Amino acid sequence: MSRSAPTSGCGPRVPGYYRPVSDYVIPDPEPKEIDEKLSVELRHLADNAVLKAKPQGDERCDNCLYYLENTAEISYCWHQKLRILVGAEWWCQWWEEIPE
């Protein structure tokens, strides 16, 4: 009875030969149903909030009461109607001055 080296189910090992790991090809990324749903929800939110990617005069998110980290380029807006990440230069109708 001859003994052979254990294999991993892929056949015997041959010195100097490397078997390809897999023929599996990673598919291109595609949006999932949840992405479509969130996109629609955020679009409605932006439309209803008059959320703009440009400041309204001197009013902008980074000098608004609801902008959580006023030194960050992107931060969380904690206004009850938004509660999303916004850019420092953005503006919405609920802008409120920071009390001194």
Residue 83 lies in a domain: yes
- pLDDT score, position 3: 54
- pLDDT score, position 12: 67
Residue 81 lies in a domain: yes
- pLDDT tens-place string over residues 24-74: 888 899 999 999 999 998 888 778 778 889 999 999 999 999 999 999 999
76 membership: H or E segment, kind and range: strand 74-77
pTM, whole model, 2 decimals? 0.59
Residue 82 lies in a domain: yes
Residue 6 lies in a domain: no
Does 21 score more than 80 pLDDT?
no
Residue 29 lies in a domain: no
- pLDDT score, position 17: 72
Q: How many domains does the chain have?
A: 1
Residue 31 lies in a domain: no
Residue 44 lies in a domain: no
DSSP secondary structure of 32-82: -HHHHHHHHHHHHHHHHHT-BSS-BTTB-GGGBTTBS-TTSSEEEE--TTT
